[in-house]
Amino acid sequence: MINLAQSFGARRVLVTGGAGFVGSAVTRRLVDAGAQVTVLDDLFTGQAEAVPTGADFIEGSVTDTELVDELVAANSLVFHLAARNIIASTTNPRDDFATNIGGTLNILLAARASKVDRIVYTGSASVYGNPRSIPINEDDFLVPLSPYAVSKLGGENYAQAFYESFGLPTACVRYSNVFGPGQRPDNP
């Protein structure tokens, strides 16, 4: 079993989207492990009160290059969860692109410039489209069927490209059907 306090204790960690459902859960675990966490969230779907006690909260967007540069430089590890959700992305693909792709590029450029230890990018199983079989396997065909899926896959590809081109340590995870305590029933 991984000892989270050993891995994250006293580390400075930035969590983008940390006031959202998944981001606040990640933030809570990091704070409990002793990390010094800063949350960046524009509160599009997140809520300031979801940010756990012990984390610093900055209201702002990953589309704000200067703010992203400043916050990334102050941390050694970045969990990048900020994104427009599938409903918002389908309603406004331009905002989806600006946040999900442009914001991801801002995070990666800032991380490369400040030489962070690692970026953890959160993708989505939506990149598989309508799967041919369940369970989905990581090597199944990718068939993004929505602007959200396209932008999440684009973010994964950008992270991989920054590793290959610049040696920036990145890790991508794909969430699927996340639910649990603290989930907002009013958030589509």
Residues assigned a catalytic role: 148
Cα–Cα distance, 155 to 148 (Å, whole number): 11
What angle (nearest 5°) sits at the alpha carbon of residue 116, between those of residues 54 and 39? 25
Q: How many residues does the chain have?
A: 188
Q: Considering only CA atoms, which of 184, 60, 168, 180 is closest in space to residue 119?
A: 168
Only one residue has tokens 């065909």, namely 141
In DSSP notation, 31-47 reads: HHTT-EEEEEE--SS--
Beta bridge partners of 121: 80, 172
Which amino acid is residue 89, in one-letter code?
S
- Burial state string for 151-180 with b = 16 or more CB within 10 A and e = fewer than 16: bbbbbbebbeebbeeeebebebebeeeeee
